Structure 1
Amino acid sequence: MSSVIEQSVQARMVASAPRMETLPALLSYDRAYPFAVRMVFPGPATLEGTEVSWEFARELLTAGMDDPAGQGDVRVRPFGYDRTVLEFHAPEGIAMVHVRTEELRRFIQRAQELVPAGEEHLYLDLDQGLTDLLGEDH
């Protein structure tokens, strides 16, 4: 079984214009980093023309599909009966995207099969983490 899950999703960028742009995004989950998920937007989908990646807690994504969650750079909340809004806060501004909740639930289910919620600590490599933190080469 692979230690990384990737899933393409279609996100809709919320803008001041009435029409929302559809853009591709990639969700990924790596068993080596069991508490986090990553959402990547390819260069053509961003204002800067370069790939933009956001990492945030898997628990935040899970909770935010049912109730508003998050207070920092990433916030997640349900929108209507079939969408979830992800807000990404950066110094340049706020990006808000809508994603079908069903797609997010499928992604979270696959991540749960790889690393069940509550068992993330069993997949941490604390020795490697300390080595990385202290800058030691062994």
Structure 2
Amino acid sequence: MNAVEQYARAQIVTDADAPQAADREAVPVTLCYDAEDDPRTVTVRMPGPGKREWPVPRALLERGLRTPVGSGGVQVWPCGRVQTVVEFHSAQGVSVVQFETKALTRFLRRTYAAAAATEPVPH
């Protein structure tokens, strides 16, 4: 199986689907990748009611660790040296989530390893 699932602690800065708390506690966000299903996309699942998940191009997430980038309803940019912000736009509004960059980097490394494991071996 060439799927990767990793929990990452993240701060939800703004959330279109939930009331804002005065203190921003870290919440568990699930990062998912399935090399056999879609090798170019990762999924970010947020806690809360309903199906709260967004597909994100893996290359976009990786580029966003170094420079501001966006595609469709997803924007990613570095925030200082140790944080990365991911912004999701939907019909309900905008959700902004702040991750530790090293957690995203670790997840991306694992996705590349899983993708390499699915590639056919040359004869």
Instruction: Give TM-score, length-normalised by structure 1.
Output: 0.74
Distance in 2, matches of 1:110 and 1:103, equals 11
- Which letter does structure 2 place at the counterpart of 1:34? P
Secondary structure in 2 aligned to 1:114? helix
Q: Describe how 1:111-122 pairs up with structure 2 within 5 A.
A: 111-116=111-116
Counterpart contact for 2:60–2:71, Cα < 8 Å = no
Give the length in aligned residue pairs: 113
- Which letter does structure 1 place at the counterpart of 2:47? P
- Which letter does structure 2 place at the counterpart of 1:58? R
Q: Which has the higher strand share?
A: 2
> How many Å apart are 1:110 and its aligned residue?
0.6
Equivalent residue, structure 1, for 2:26:
22
Distance 1:24 1:51, change over 3 A: farther
> How many Å apart are 1:54 and its aligned residue?
0.5
Distance in 2, matches of 1:51 and 1:78, equals 27
Deviations 1:9-57 (A, max 9, x none): 01101147663232211001101110000011132xxxxx223111110
Distance in 2, matches of 1:71 and 1:36, equals 13
Distance in 1, matches of 2:2 and 2:63, equals 23
Q: Which has the higher helix share?
A: 1
- Which letter does structure 2 place at the counterpart of 1:36? T
Counterpart contact for 1:9–1:27, Cα < 8 Å = yes
Identity %: 34
C-alpha RMSD of the superposition = 2.0
- Which letter does structure 1 place at the counterpart of 2:43? R
Equivalent residue, structure 2, for 1:130:
none
Unaligned runs of 5+ in 2: 15-19
Distance in 1, matches of 2:29 and 2:21, equals 21
Matched, 1:3 2:2: yes
> How many Å apart are 1:92 and its aligned residue?
1.2
Unaligned runs of 5+ in 1: 44-48, 124-138
Q: Describe how 1:45-64 pairs up with structure 2 within 5 A.
A: 49-64=49-64
Counterpart contact for 1:68–1:77, Cα < 8 Å = yes
Of structures 1 and 2, the one scoring higher in RCO (CA 8 A, sep 6+) is 2
Equivalent residue, structure 1, for 2:17:
none
